[in-house]
A = this chain, B = another copy of it.
Amino acid sequence: MARVGPKLNQSNTLLMISSIYTSLTKAEKKVADFVKSNPEESVLATVTDLSEQAGVGETSVIRFCRKLGFRGFHEFKLSVAQDLVDRPPSLSNMEIEEEDDVFTVARKVTMKHEMLIKNTLDLVNVESLTSAVDKMLAAKRIFVYGVGSSGITALDLHYRLMRLGMSVEVQRDSHIIAMSAALVGKGDLVFGISTSGSTRDLVDPVRQAKLNGAVVICLTSHLRSPIAAHADTVLLVPSKELPMEGGALSTKFTQIHILNILTTLISMKKDTADQSLEKTARSVADKLY
């Protein structure tokens, strides 16, 4: 699997912790929890300190750092220190309370969304984005797959690409996804969307597509997930770390956000994009009053 990120570039380590959280073991999760709630102290602590505070063995701390892609504890601390530089003002009081009035709820949701898209930007990997754009422009055929909520995101991506004049197919039915993936080959590109990254209905077809020689891009919130393991390029969005919210569907928000970045980049590189947008817009003009 591709390394998470060496270091010293602007990638938010604390967010990264969330994105691999589910793939951590119990002891490692303890470490993650402590670091996330006490980043300042973690930076100053030694391996022994941290292991004691988290209630695990030193070895688990080291393993935790390695899983994040660092060479060791030292690199990890440096990176966290960098995250602390301009830490967003505490997000306390953002929790929605039972007795909040309508406008307060609206404001809190807005603030959460604002934070979410900033976090998305922090997590954005320029190389991944660039490579995704290039691969998509180079692909002979593009297939977008997703089920459930991610299936709706898939429709959105399809719509955007179609408007830009690209020939794309979208599938949301797990059986059809499987069949479709069985038929792809060299020169094709599969774009798999799965928040968890562990959805069988996505993972298996994506693996198959990869074996068939297709290029694979995936959009997920979990970097160390099965789907990411099979992907050539991974687009990572923050995983919901915001508890309690109606539908807990904030991931959709960040997905749309990064897809908008992606399609904006594509439209910049594709010279016929503007015309396509215009043509498609005109095509529905007479459907209006």
Contacts and interface: CB of A to CB of B under 8 A. Distances in A.
A204 to B, nearest CB: 9
Q: Interface size for chain A: under 10, 10 to 19, 20 to 34, or 35 or more residues?
A: 35 or more
B203 A289 contact: yes
Nearest to A83: B85
A275 interface: no
Nearest to A267: B246
B114 A268 contact: no
A163 B265 contact: no
A218 to B, nearest CB: 14
A207 B79 CA distance: 44
B121 A107 contact: yes
B82 A264 contact: no
Interface in A215-271: 226, 245-250, 252-253, 256-257, 260-268
A200 interface: yes
Given A267-B245, A277-B247, A257 B110 contact: yes
A139 interface: no
A111 to B, nearest CB: 9
Q: Which of A159, A201, A249, A264 has the most CB of B within 10 A?
A: A264
User: How many copies of this chain does one complex carry?
Assistant: 2
A246 B260 contact: yes
A29 interface: no
Interface stretch (A52-60, A95-103, A177-185): A95-103
Nearest to A115: B114
Nearest to A225: B289
Contacts of A277: 247-248
A196 interface: yes
A246 B226 contact: no
Nearest to A258: B106
Given A78-B77, A110-B257, A160 B200 contact: no
A152 B159 contact: yes
B284 A200 contact: no
A175 interface: no
A91 interface: no
A250 B246 contact: no
A43 B77 CA distance: 11
25 contacts: A8-B40, A10-B88, A78-B78, A78-B81, A81-B82, A82-B85, A98-B268, A103-B126, A105-B261, A109-B261, A109-B264, A110-B118, A110-B120, A110-B257, A113-B260, A114-B114, A114-B117, A152-B159, A159-B247, A160-B247, A160-B249, A199-B288, A203-B289, A246-B264, A249-B263
